[in-house]
């Protein structure tokens, strides 16, 4: 049933514009988002589209489809693999398609400095490394960049300052095995739920808690039905910006190089943009509600870090050599970025 509904959604959306180019108009490239209009992914896609259209002198036009326009998130991945769309973002749910991408769900792997993380994740020695690229290409996806969208923040109706506070708490997670096991290690009861159902799930008590960056808590109104937002800086929300491998392979070498240059050139801009968005959304939450924001101190974070550390070995053993190599390269990239940018302003 899902495939038929998705096919109808896609057909209706694509009827708005062709994809060929030439005398009928510019060539159409299509980007699907996991998030709504105005989100961090939407702003990134808009900037990317502007760069593409400028550098191709209008020979290419880029259409952007916010979350829901082309079906659910899993549908988007299928459409990208089938080359029905050309670009898309993938985050936690992508672990079901590209198991190695669960690397970005590991807690306490990245630096406390968000700029360091943005540089490390997009360091060519990591991003374009053979283990990481092959992991995506195996599933007909071409990884182009990694977009950190801010710290993952817990929401709940009770303050969570220690693993003991998580006991019995049903926290909504994406359907990602590593995430489920991480929250089980913390003592919580992880419960997968579709993103579009989360507000009502929190409101009706189907789940007790959630985990999202500040911007998502504000955009989707989750803070309206939660009493606390807890920042442990355990992980950032990281989206893979991907192309259809079929589409990418058919591009000229000049166009492929263009995509690499555009995404590499957007790293600093994207970092500043997501920080601005999350800061504004956090301020909006504080102004519009009585939701209390709790910042964990280093001793409190260490209790969670100790429980999260064994998940690295679990990830490596389950995903295999390619995942283990990718984790090693990421840790090396973080170390190198800290040495180069560690004194930067976060």
The per-residue pLDDT for 233 is 97
Domain residues of the chain, as ranges? 2-341
**Going residue by residue through the chain (346 aa), what tens digit of pLDDT does each one get?**
344 344 444 544 444 344 555 567 899 999 999 999 999 999 999 999 999 999 999 999 999 999 989 988 889 999 999 999 999 999 988 998 999 999 999 999 999 999 999 999 999 999 999 999 999 999 999 999 999 999 999 999 999 999 999 999 999 998 888 999 999 999 999 999 988 899 999 999 999 999 999 999 999 999 999 999 999 999 999 999 999 999 999 999 999 999 999 999 999 999 999 999 999 999 999 999 999 999 999 999 999 999 999 999 999 999 999 999 999 999 999 999 999 987 655 5
The per-residue pLDDT for 230 is 98
Nearest of 68, 13, 80 to residue 196 by alpha carbon: 68
Distance CA(245)–CA(159), nearest Å, equals: 44
The per-residue pLDDT for 92 is 84
The SS3 of residue 18 is coil
327: burial class by Cβ within 10 Å (0-12, 13-18, 19+)? buried
pTM over 0.75: yes
The per-residue pLDDT for 181 is 95
Distance CA(31)–CA(53), nearest Å, equals: 14
Q: Are 235 and 107 in contact (CB under 8 A)?
A: yes
The per-residue pLDDT for 80 is 97
Domain 2-341 -> CATH class = alpha beta
The per-residue pLDDT for 18 is 43
The kind and range of the H/E element at 310 are helix 310-319
The alpha-helical segments, DSSP class H, found in 67-169 are 73-81, 114-121, 124-127, 130-137
The per-residue pLDDT for 196 is 84
């Amino acid at each position: 049933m899902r495939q038929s509904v998705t096919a109808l959604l896609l057909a209706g959306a694509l009827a708005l514009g062709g994809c060929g180019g030439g005398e009928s108009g510019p060539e159409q490239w299509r980007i699907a988002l996991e998030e709504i209009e105005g989100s961090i992914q939407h702003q990134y896609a808009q900037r990317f589209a502007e760069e593409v259209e400028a550098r191709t002198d209008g020979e290419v036009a880029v259409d952007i489809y916010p979350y829901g326009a082309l079906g659910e998130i899993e549908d988007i991945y299928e459409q990208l693999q089938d080359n029905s769309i050309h670009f898309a973002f993938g985050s936690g749910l992508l672990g079901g398609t590209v198991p190695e991408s669960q690397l970005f769900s590991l807690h306490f792997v990245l630096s406390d400095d968000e700029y360091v993380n943005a540089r490390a994740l997009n360091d060519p020695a990591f991003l374009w490394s053979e283990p990481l690229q092959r992991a995506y290409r195996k599933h007909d996806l071409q990884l182009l960049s990694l977009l950190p969208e801010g710290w993952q923040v817990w929401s709940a109706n009770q303050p969570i300052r220690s693993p003991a506070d998580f006991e019995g708490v049903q926290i909504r997670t994406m359907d990602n095995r590593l995430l489920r096991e991480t929250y089980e290690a913390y003592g919580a009861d992880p419960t997968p739920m579709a993103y579009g159902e989360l507000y009502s799930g929190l409101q009706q008590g189907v789940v007790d808690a959630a985990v999202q960056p500040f911007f998502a808590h504000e955009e989707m109104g989750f803070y309206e039905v939660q009493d606390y937002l807890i920042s442990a800086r355990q992980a950032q929300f990281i989206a893979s910006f991907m192309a259809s491998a079929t589409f990418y392979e058919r591009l000229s070498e000049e166009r492929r190089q263009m995509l690499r240059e555009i995404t590499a050139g957007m790293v600093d801009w994207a970092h500043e943009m997501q920080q601005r968005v999350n800061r504004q959304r956090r301020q909006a939450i504080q102004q519009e509600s009585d939701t209390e924001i709790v910042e964990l101190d280093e001793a409190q974070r260490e209790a969670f870090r100790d429980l999260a550390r064994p998940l690295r070995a679990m990830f490596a053993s389950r995903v295999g050599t390619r995942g283990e190599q990718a984790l090693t390269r990421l840790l090396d990239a973080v170390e190198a970025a800290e040495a180069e940018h560690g004194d930067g302003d976060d």
